Amino acid sequence: MDTTNGLEILQHNLLSEVKAFFDSAPPLKDSNEVSEKLKEFIEGFSTSQGDGRAERVVCVTSGGTTVPLEQRCVRYIDNFSSGHRGATSTEYFLKAGYAVIFLYRRGTCQPFCQSLPDDPLLEWFEPTSESNIQVREQHAKAVKRAIMKHHAAVADGRLLKLSFTTIFEYLQILKQIAMETRCLGTHAMFYLAAAVSDFYKPWKDMAEHKIQSASGPLDMQLSQVPKMLSVLRKEWAPLAFCISFKLETDSRILLEKADMALKKYKMHAVVANELSTRKEQVVVVTGNEKVSVRRDKNHPGDDVENPLINLLLERHSTYIEDSDI
Amino acid sequence: MDTTNGLEILQHNLLSEVKAFFDSAPPLKDSNEVSEKLKEFIEGFSTSQGDGRAERVVCVTSGGTTVPLEQRCVRYIDNFSSGHRGATSTEYFLKAGYAVIFLYRRGTCQPFCQSLPDDPLLEWFEPTSESNIQVREQHAKAVKRAIMKHHAAVADGRLLKLSFTTIFEYLQILKQIAMETRCLGTHAMFYLAAAVSDFYKPWKDMAEHKIQSASGPLDMQLSQVPKMLSVLRKEWAPLAFCISFKLETDSRILLEKADMALKKYKMHAVVANELSTRKEQVVVVTGNEKVSVRRDKNHPGDDVENPLINLLLERHSTYIEDSDI
C-alpha cells in the first residue's frame, strides 16, 4: 500500500474497523436460513431468468436498531422509528413492479398495515356471541385490505420480510442481502430508511451482567459504528443504486449534513428529512440537484412517499440506462 | 428538622430529588383524562359501596420504561421487558376476583394474549376469497379466547389499562394511581413488575437536538433515578400492600440484592428473578422467609405466575387481617 496516499489509508482504516465490528459481533442465529431465503427470492429476478434482463429488486430497511449495553441484555439504546416510512415505501415499490426485500425492526410498522392501530386484534375486533368474534364494521375494509394485499405480495414471491433487533443483526443481514443481490447489478436498489445507531458498545467491552445502580451516576463510553454506507457502496454492492436517509431535528443543519453524507458515502441520493415535518415533505439531494418533495394535500390519504418513490424510480431508470451505455 | 438525625436527612434529600425529578419532567399529556378514568374505575371498589368494605384492587406495572437522551427524541435507553410477567399475572389477579389497573408499556404483551404471535393479524389471518378473511383454523380458539376474555374484563369494569413509554410518564401515572387508590387502604396492592430504568437524563440537561456523531465516541453521563419505591411506600400509598421485583443476570448476588431492596424500600415482598430462569422459578423474599416458587412441570401450559399470585394473595389476606386488628 502506498502510505503517501491519505485516501487509501482512510479506506484501509475503515475496512479494519468494519472487520473488527463483525469479528466482535455475536453470530447471527439463523444466518443459514436467511441466506437460503435470500437465494431463493433473488433467483426469480436475476438475469438467468426470462428475457435475460434482471428485474428490479429494492432492499427497504425500516425501523430503528438497538445497541445492547450488557451481554446478557437488560438495557439497550434504541433509535426512535415507527417504521412508517419504510412500510409505506414498500407498498409503492411493489405497486411500481419492484420486488422488495423488507428488512425491518421486529414490532414496527408493516406494509399495508399503517392505517391499523398498534393492537388491531384487541382494538378492532369484538365478540359477537359466546363463541364468535368479528372485526368492527367500520374497520372491516381496512383490516381485509391489509391482510389480503400483504398476503398476496408474499404469496406472489415479490415481498421477502427479514427482521432484526440489534445493530449487529441489522448489519450482518444487510451485508448478506448486498452480497446476494450483486448478481442483479444496477437493477438492485438500496433504500436505507432504517434509523441506524451511530454509536455502539463493542461486544468484548460490554459488562457480562446487569450494570449495578448502587455505585452512583452512570458514565458510559460508546464507540462510533464504522461508516457502513461507504462499505456497502464500495465493497458489498458497487453497482446497486443507493439511497440513504438523513434525519435531523435541526432544520438549519439538515441540507448541509445530507450533502456531506452524499459525498462522503458516495450515495446516489440522500433523502433529507426533519423530524417534525417528515410526513409532509422531504428533500432529495443528489450530486446536481435538490428536489423538494411534498405530500399532495389536495388528495386526502396521499402521503409524501408517493411522489418520493416516483422520483426515485425515474432516477433509478436513468441510472440503469446510463450504466448500459 | 433535627439535623442530628441521619435518616431524616436522607429522607429529606430523597424528597428533594423526587421533587426535582417531577418538576423537570415534561408534563403528562393526558393527565386529566387519566385522572378521570382512575376515579371512575376506583369508585366501584371503595368503601362507600356495597357492604362498606373495599374490594381488592391491584396495580400491575408491566414492560420497560424508556429514557430519552434528546428532548426532540431520536435516541433513548430502553429496559428489556416483554411484559409477559405483568400480562399473565393480570389474568390470575382477575381470576382471583381482584380488579386490576394494568399500567403497561405501549406495544408490550397484553392480558389473555400471550399465546398470540407478535403480529397475529398478519401471521394468523388469511384471505378466504376475494373479499373475506378468516383466522386460520388451528389458531381460531386462541384468538377467540384472547378477544373475548380481554373484552369481558374491560366491559365488566374490572380491568383498566393505562399505557406509558418514558420513565417520566410511568412515574407520573404511578403517582396518580397511588393517590387515587389511597381510599382503598390495605385493600390496594402494588405489583411492580415493570422494568424501570435506574438512570435517566434530566430534561433540562438534555440536548435539544439530535446528538451529532461526527465528533467521535460518545461520552454520556446519566443521573440516578430517585428511589421512588421508598416514596410510593411511605408517602403516596402508606397502607397499600407493595410487591417489587428484582431482576439480575448474576444469580450469586440476586437474593442479597432482593433482601436489600426489601429493607431499603420497606416492601412487603420482593420477587427475585434471574434473567435466564425467570419463567421457571422465582423466590419471594419477605421479612421472615424466602419462598421458592416453581412452575408446575407436570401441568403443560402452567406458568410460574400461577403459584406466585396464589402465594401473594394469601400474604395480602394476612396483611389485611393483621391491619384490621
Helix residue spans in A131-250 (DSSP H): 140-155, 167-181, 228-231
Nearest to B127 among A148, A209, A224 (CB): A148
Distance CA A74, CA A57 (A): 37
Smallest CA–CA distance, residue A219 to chain B, in Å, is 5
- Boundary-marking domain end, from A209, A239, A269: A239
- pLDDT value for B215: 67
Instruction: Provide the 10 A C-beta neighbour count for residue B33.
Output: 11
Distance CA B258, CA B287 (A): 11
Distance CA A169, CA A164 (A): 6
DSSP letter for B158, please.
Answer: -
ipTM value of the model? Answer: 0.85
Helices and strands counted in chain A (H then E)? 9, 14
Judgement on whether residues A213 and A277 belong to the same structural domain of the protein? no
Nearest to A133 among B73, B79, B147 (CB): B147
Cβ burial, residue B62 (10 Å; 0-12/13-18/19+): buried
Of A157, A192, A170, A13, nearest in space to A86 by CA? A192
- Boundary-marking domain end, from A181, A204, A239: A239
What's the mean per-residue pLDDT of chain A?
90
Q: Are B189 and B243 in contact (CB under 8 A)?
A: yes
For residue B124, is it within any domain?
no
Q: Are A244 and A192 in contact (CB under 8 A)?
A: yes
Least confident of B62-76, B188-202, B305-319: B62-76
- Kindly state the average pLDDT of the residues A26-38: 94
Distance CA B140, CA B133 (A): 12
pLDDT in tens, B93-134: 999 999 999 999 999 999 999 888 888 888 888 888 777 888
Distance CA A285, CA A263 (A): 11
- Taking an 8 Å cut-off on Cβ atoms, the answer to whether B198 and A213 are in contact is yes
For residue B57, is it within any domain?
yes
Give yes or no for residue B72 having a pLDDT over 80.
no
- pLDDT value for B48: 56
Of B258, B260, B252, B289, nearest in space to B271 by CA? B258
- Boundary-marking domain end, from A194, A215, A239: A239
DSSP letter for A207, please.
Answer: B
- Taking an 8 Å cut-off on Cβ atoms, the answer to whether B250 and A118 are in contact is no
Which residues of chain B make contact with A77, given a CB cutoff of 8 A?
Answer: 69, 75-78
- pLDDT value for A1: 47
Best of B122, B149, B260 to disrupt the A interface by mutation (most A CBs within 10 Å)?
Answer: B122
- Taking an 8 Å cut-off on Cβ atoms, the answer to whether B110 and A131 are in contact is no
Which residues of chain A make contact with B217, given a CB cutoff of 8 A?
Answer: 199, 221-224
For residue B187, is it within any domain?
yes
Judgement on whether residues A318 and A195 belong to the same structural domain of the protein? no
Which residues of chain A make contact with B198, given a CB cutoff of 8 A?
Answer: 213, 218
- pLDDT value for A73: 72
pLDDT band, residue A123 (cuts 50/70/90): confident
Nearest to A250 among B69, B209, B217 (CB): B209
Give yes or no for residue B3 having a pLDDT over 60.
no
Provide the residue range defining the domain that includes B74. Answer: 1-113+153-213+222-234
Radius of gyration of chain B (CA): 21
Best of A104, A106, A133 to disrupt the B interface by mutation (most B CBs within 10 Å)?
Answer: A133
Q: Sheet containing B75-79: which strands, arranged edge to edge?
A: A66-68, A75-79, B75-79, B66-68
pLDDT band, residue B8 (cuts 50/70/90): confident
Q: Say what percent of chain A tops pLDDT 70.
A: 96
- pLDDT value for B1: 47
Give yes or no for residue A193 having a pLDDT over 80.
yes
Helices and strands counted in chain B (H then E)? 9, 14
Least confident of A283-297, B58-72, B212-226: B212-226
pLDDT in tens, A229-247: 999 999 999 999 999 999 8
Cβ burial, residue A252 (10 Å; 0-12/13-18/19+): exposed
Give yes or no for residue B272 having a pLDDT over 50.
yes
Best of A218, A264, A278 to disrupt the B interface by mutation (most B CBs within 10 Å)?
Answer: A218
Q: Are B78 and A77 in contact (CB under 8 A)?
A: yes
Give yes or no for residue A317 having a pLDDT over 80.
yes
pLDDT band, residue A4 (cuts 50/70/90): low
Smallest CA–CA distance, residue B309 to chain A, in Å, is 24
The total of structural domains in chain B comes to 2
Distance CA A69, CA B210 (A): 20
Which CATH number do you get for residue A174? Answer: 3.40.50.10300
For residue A115, is it within any domain?
no
For residue A212, is it within any domain?
yes
A with B: how many residue pairs have Cβ under 8 Å apart?
166
